[in-house]
Amino acid sequence: MAEVLLFHHALGLTEGVGAFADGLRRAGHTVHVPDLYEGRTFEDLEAGVGYAREVGFDTITARGERAAEGLPEDVVYAGFSLGVVPAQKLAQTRPGAAGALLFGACVPADAFGAAWPEGVRVQVHGMDADPYFVGDGDLAAARELVAGSGDRELFLYPGAAHLFAERGTPDFVPEVAALCAERVLCFLDALDG
């Protein structure tokens, strides 16, 4: 079974993020979910992003990097939205990554001063009309990341919700969240094979 380091989005470590992690645990995977916001949660993305700006995105990313210390090398790094930044950075720069799961965001690979590592599988999940994912350039970065590679996948779902897998938010889309979770579990199971 896989070991996953899952980073939350700009709302903080919410019950919805915990529920997603619990679904992976029920399937037999080990999941670590660090709190990058040190106990703070927010009701809307703007407030959460405001907090991240105040603390500093570099500080949030550094907290994510510290969360990986002491874990084995062959971890799957996963992140929702803001949490994609530390997840993707670790997948690209920490040796031995088993894979990456990026939800609602994708950073251009060259942002971390390293190409995507050969053999590190990745799934990117987002909605085709999500104003953050599409409008902020994440979709273009995801398409570039997966181009020409059989072990990198982009899954686009119809709709404009940003936190589509987040139970308890207005963005939650149950049928899309279920399909996304199914694909994630297949991804994790394939790492064992």
DSSP class per residue in 51-101: HHHHH-HHHHHHHHHHHHTTS-SSPEEEEEGGGHHHHHHHHHHSTT--EEE
pTM assigned to the model: 0.96
Q: What are 179's two structure tokens? A: 């399909």
Q: List strand residue ranges (DSSP E) for the chain, in order.
A: 3-7, 30-32, 76-80, 99-103, 121-127, 152-157
Question: In a 3-state reduction of DSSP, which class is residue 185?
Answer: helix
The proportion of the chain whose per-residue pLDDT surpasses 90, expressed as a percent, equals 93
**Cα–Cα distance measured from residue 76 to residue 185, given in angstroms and rounded to the nearest whole number:** 12
With beta carbons less than 8 A apart as the criterion, state whether 138 and 106 touch: yes
pLDDT tier for residue 114 given thresholds of 50, 70 and 90: confident
d(CA 145, CA 143): 5
Mean pLDDT for the stretch of residues 6-32:
97
pLDDT of residue 193: 57
Question: In angstroms, what is the C-alpha Rg of the chain?
Answer: 15
How do residues 120-172 score in pLDDT, each as one tens digit?
999 999 999 999 999 999 999 999 999 988 899 999 999 999 999 999 899 99
Q: How far apart are CA 171 and CA 95, in angstroms?
A: 35
The CATH class of the 3-192 domain is: alpha beta
φ/ψ of 16, rounded to 5, equals -65, -40
Residues 185/179, Cβ–Cβ less than 8 Å: no
